């Protein structure tokens, strides 16, 4: 991640952006068309990088859960050195109905002390807890499933001193994305966490 911003004053329809740069712009905030936003935004489309997916914190309703959840990553605290919070897990599920797969629900449970725990996982859900919701990991394209289909999904939690990111993809019944492309990525910066800890 860079730490410099260059402000360019020009007509975005004519500007040639250097490769590998991120692009931000001020856009219209009113219904009036005084800023000609369609023309401006159309002209800026050539600067957009291919987007990747992000998980969403959502209250799951109007969904069909296709299989029981399975554990993915476990963390224990205190965490003995050397500290490495990178993880990888492959999970297989059998689907018992014809359906369409749009993504995966991510739950958590935590043991605070003794038998005191918090959970968003359906089998151990903490009744009356409305402050946390599941995390939905979407697929770029839905996958049609027949009854008896086997699903294999892979999750990575990657860490560097500066960043943490998640990657996920299917390899069965289809590879999403195709194997020559990178998995779907969700990225967070460690700096935000460190600043929060300093403030405690």
Q: Where in the chain is the domain with CATH 2.70.160.11?
A: 56-198
Percent of the chain surpassing pLDDT 70: 68
Q: Record the pTM.
A: 0.68
- Rounded CA separation 65/16 (Å): 47
Residue 141, number of CB atoms within 10 A of its CB: 10
* CATH number of this structure's domain 56-198, picked from the four choices 3.20.20.140, 2.70.160.11, 3.30.470.20, 3.30.565.10: 2.70.160.11
- Summarised one tens digit per residue, pLDDT across range 171-184 is 999 988 754 455 55
Q: What is the pLDDT of residues 37-63, one digit of tens each?
A: 666 667 667 666 665 567 888 888 889
Q: Are 28 and 34 in contact (CB under 8 A)?
A: yes
pLDDT attached to residue 188: 65
Q: How many residues does the chain have?
A: 200
């Amino acid at each position: 991640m860079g730490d410099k911003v260059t402000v360019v004053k020009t007509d975005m329809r004519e500007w040639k952006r250097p490769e590998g740069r991120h692009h931000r712009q001020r856009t219209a905030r009113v219904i009036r068309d005084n800023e000609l936003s369609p023309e401006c935004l159309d002209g800026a489309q050539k600067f957009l990088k291919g987007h990747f997916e992000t998980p969403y914190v959502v209250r799951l309703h109007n969904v069909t859960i296709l299989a029981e959840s399975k554990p993915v990553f476990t963390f224990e605290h205190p965490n003995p050195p050397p500290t490495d919070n990178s993880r990888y897990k492959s999970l297989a599920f059998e689907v018992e109905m014809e359906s369409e797969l749009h993504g995966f629900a991510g739950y958590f449970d935590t043991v605070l002390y003794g038998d005191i725990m918090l959970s968003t996982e359906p089998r151990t859900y903490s009744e009356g807890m409305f402050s946390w919701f599941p995390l939905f990991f979407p697929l770029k394209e839905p996958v049609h499933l027949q009854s008896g289909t086997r699903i294999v999904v892979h999750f990575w939690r990657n860490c560097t001193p500066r960043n943490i990111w998640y990657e996920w993809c299917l390899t069965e019944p289809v590879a999403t994305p195709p194997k020559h492309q990178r998995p779907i990525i969700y990225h967070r910066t460690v700096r935000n966490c460190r600043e929060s800890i300093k403030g405690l």
